[in-house]
Amino acid sequence: MIMLDRWEHITSRTNRSVALAASLVDKKHRDEQRLFLCEGIKLFCEAVAAGAEIEKVFVTHRAAGDPDLCRLLERLPKHSVKIVSDPVLERISTEKSPQGVICTVRCLDKTHKNNTIYNNPSRPPRRAVLLDGVSDPGNVGTIMRTAAAFGIDMLILGPGCADIYNPRAVRASMGTIFRQPVVRVEDMAASVAALREAGAEVWAATLDAELTVSELAEAAEHKSVCVVIGNEGHGISPEVEAVATGKVNIPITSDAESLNAAIAAAIFMWELRTNKR
């Protein structure tokens, strides 16, 4: 029989720890606290496996009855685990049907000066994807997941991008938020220029380019090649496009106006992956 008395039990929806966790749905509070929400058993397990700094875990009585989950909870400091009622968990959750586990985790990424977005200025990342104003959290999370799948060295997010700690982005990342290197920059055009100065090619994904992604991939095997994905509605900013190596496209039929940003990013990453077999 699993004994839950070792941990604090919370039944009040106005409890201070509960209120703080619930506030993390807003970016303002995430930035202030440097914490974000991970909802569900999978994301909690991913956080533990990655050695992430877990601040609090809120678990329902039913979920805590799972022996495997309980073993993970026992690895955490006693004060971090809170056994809560269903109404309390619903107060924190952003999901319609919470799975019974929500944790708050210390933020991972850093904002970098534009000339230090990689550790060695003479060796830029072989493959990087730059997001110029991609504003949908689901797209950002999906791109993170795809980048991890295809071995992309780095995601670089510029101003106007959705917060990677938005609950929708975290959920869409399916745990890769703990593994995929992500950096934020204050000036995307300056970051593109810094990458090019270090020897990388940085290509702007546009609809009007003559070069196709397949043609780019054929010549990219021994090069450092990066791709910029623009805003869902407006595309890449003129300032970024002006300093890019050139433009590249994904050929599509006239029946479709464009591709979803996450879909387009996935195609570029698939074509440019370095682990082709």
- CB contact set of 191 (below 8 Å; sequence gap of 6+): 114, 117, 130, 156, 158, 185
Q: What is the CB neighbour count within 10 angstroms for residue 277? A: 3
Q: Are residues 90 and 75 in the same domain?
A: yes
Q: Are residues 86 and 147 in the same domain?
A: no
Which of the listed residues 68, 90, 106 is the one where a domain comes to its end? 106
C-alpha–C-alpha distance, residues 47 and 38, integer Å: 8
C-alpha–C-alpha distance, residues 2 and 238, integer Å: 60
Q: Is residue 277 part of a domain?
A: no
> What is the structure's pLDDT at 121?
54
243 φ, ψ (degrees, to nearest 5): -105, 0
> What is the structure's pLDDT at 274?
75
Q: Find the domain containing 93 and state its range.
A: 8-106
User: Residue 251 burial by CB count (10 A; 0-12/13-18/19+): exposed, middle or buried?
Assistant: exposed
Q: Assess contact for 83 and 101: CB atoms under 8 A.
A: no
> What is the structure's pLDDT at 256?
87
> What is the structure's pLDDT at 111?
57
C-alpha–C-alpha distance, residues 84 and 88, integer Å: 6
Q: Is residue 19 part of a domain?
A: yes
Q: Are residues 78 and 117 in the same domain?
A: no
- CB contact set of 99 (below 8 Å; sequence gap of 6+): 39, 40, 41, 63
Q: What percent of the chain has pLDDT over 90?
A: 83
Q: Tell me: the pLDDT tens digits for 144-187? A: 999 999 999 999 999 999 999 999 999 999 999 999 999 999 99
Q: Are residues 83 and 135 in the same domain?
A: no
C-alpha–C-alpha distance, residues 156 and 228, integer Å: 9
> What is the structure's pLDDT at 108?
82
> What is the structure's pLDDT at 124?
84
Residues of the chain with pLDDT under 50: 1, 115-116
DSSP annotation of 208 reads S
C-alpha–C-alpha distance, residues 118 and 96, integer Å: 39
C-alpha–C-alpha distance, residues 85 and 62, integer Å: 9
Q: Is residue 3 part of a domain?
A: no
> What is the structure's pLDDT at 115?
47
> What is the structure's pLDDT at 36?
98
Task: Reduce the DSSP state of residue 118 to 3 states and report it.
Answer: coil
52 φ, ψ (degrees, to nearest 5): -65, 155
